[in-house]
Each structure stands twice: as structure tokens, then as C-alpha cells.
Amino acid sequence: MPSPCHGPFDLRPPQTPAEWEAYHRIRQDVLLEAKKYAMEHAEELAPGHHPMLLWLDRRPVGSIRIDIDAAGRAGLRLVAVDPDLQKQGCGRVLLRLAEEFAREHGCTRTVLYATLEAVGFYAKAGYQEDDWDDVYVSGIVQMAKPLCNPAQGETPRGKT
Ligand SMILES: CC(C)(COP(=O)(O)OP(=O)(O)OC[C@H]1O[C@@H](n2cnc3c(N)ncnc32)[C@H](O)[C@@H]1OP(=O)(O)O)[C@@H](O)C(=O)NCCC(=O)NCCS
């Protein structure tokens, strides 16, 4: 299945050692949680887990892992944009392409754990608070978004 591509942006799995290095570097630069995942390839390559790098032209600018489960949910994990390029629209594209990937893999819903600082970012992309997981973690907001078929139009909140 081809990777989704929008204009100069492209979302695809890291392949070479240099691309894996970029994948880990971007998220470790901006996410404390990512430091424990340093080059932990077993978790990255578990069944249903899809590590992805966002490219802008020839530059890797963002990273995400899309974890697909048997219930047709896509968990968006460790969402990160290069600090030099934040607040310029890359995060929005990263989410949109990840949702497209999830939809192409038969998912009907994306779910995530948002930090309090990132809740506004996800809300702007159509995510709403939703206790989809039984586990409660202080300072984390569980959010979700239904993935509609593009033929049926936009998502309920309209803007992704
Ligand atoms: C959160 C993050 C992925 C957003 O990426 P980004 O490229 O800066 O976001 P964008 O520029 O695409 O922003 C899209 C919209 O969300 C808004 N936005 C971005 N970050 C926001 C935030 N922290 N709070 C509220 N709104 C935010 C933007 O203003 C923009 O709004 P607009 O549509 O009205 O113009 C990025 O800032 C990042 O990597 N942060 C550190 C890691 C992190 O917090 N990851 C999420 C953990 S759950």
C-alpha cells in the first residue's frame, strides 16, 4: 500500500539507519517520554505498530507511531515535530496523514493520550475528550476522533 503524500509532505516508515536516527532524535528532542524508547526497536516493530517519519521535501520534520489494534483503533503515539518547525502547520499535516494511513488500514477511530499542553492542538484537529482506556494517568487527557470515509465528507468537527 503506498504511503500517503500531500504536496511536499510525505509520511513513511524510517528505513535506513540515518532515518531511524532522525525518528528517535526528533521525538527525544521534544518528548521526555521518548527518552526511554531510545533505539528500542522491539517496541517500535511490534505487530500492528507503524513507526513513521514526516518529510518536508528532503528533510525529516516530524515523527509518530501508529499502533493499530484488532478493534480497528489506531493509537497515535509519541507525536513530535522538530522544534525549529513547530507552529508552522507540520503537526496538523502529521495528524492528517496518520489518520489517512489508519483509515487505509481499516481503522474507524484514532485515539491518543494528550499532555495538558497539547490538548488544544488535538482539539483543533477534531479530537475530543473520550475515556477510551481504563487506565488513568495524572496530567494526561484521553482523546479520540472518529475516522469517517472520505466519500462521506468531513469529520464532525470539520477541520483536520
Ligand atoms: C504538539 C505539536 C506536535 C504540534 O505541532 P505543530 O507543528 O507545532 O502544530 P501546527 O503548527 O500544525 O498547529 C496546528 C494548529 O494547532 C495549534 N497549536 C499547536 N500547538 C498547540 C498547543 N500546544 N496548544 C494549542 N494549540 C496549538 C496551532 O496554533 C494551529 O492552530 P490554527 O489551525 O488555528 O493555525 C508540536 O508542538 C510538538 O512536537 N510539541 C512537543 C511534543 C508534544 O507535545 N507532543 C504531543 C504530546 S501528546
Q: Could you give the domains of the chain? A: 5-152 (3.40.630.30)
Give the chain's end-to-end CA distance (angstroms, integer): 22
Measured on CA atoms in the order 118, 153, 9, 44, is the torsion positive or negative? positive
The model's confidence at residue 157, banded by pLDDT at 50, 70 and 90, is very low
pTM: 0.91
Mean pLDDT of 145-156: 67
Taking alpha carbons only, the member of 116, 112, 137, 140 closest to residue 126 is: 112
| Predicted local confidence at residue 154, as pLDDT | 47
Is residue 119's pLDDT more than 50?
A: yes
Lowest pLDDT segment from 31-35, 68-72, 81-85, 129-133: 31-35
Is residue 55's pLDDT more than 70?
A: yes
Taking alpha carbons only, the member of 86, 92, 96 closest to residue 66 is: 96
Contacts of 121 by beta carbon, 8 Å cutoff, 6+ apart: 91, 114
Mean pLDDT of 57-67: 96
Measured on CA atoms in the order 131, 133, 137, 143, is the torsion positive or negative? negative
What value does the mean pLDDT of the chain take? Answer: 88
If one residue of 27, 30, 87 were mutated to test the ligand 1 pocket, choosing by the most ligand atoms within 8 A of its CB, it would be: 87
Mean pLDDT of 52-63: 96
User: Who lines ligand 1 at CB under 6 A?
Assistant: 30-31, 79-81, 86-92, 114-115, 117-118, 120-121, 124
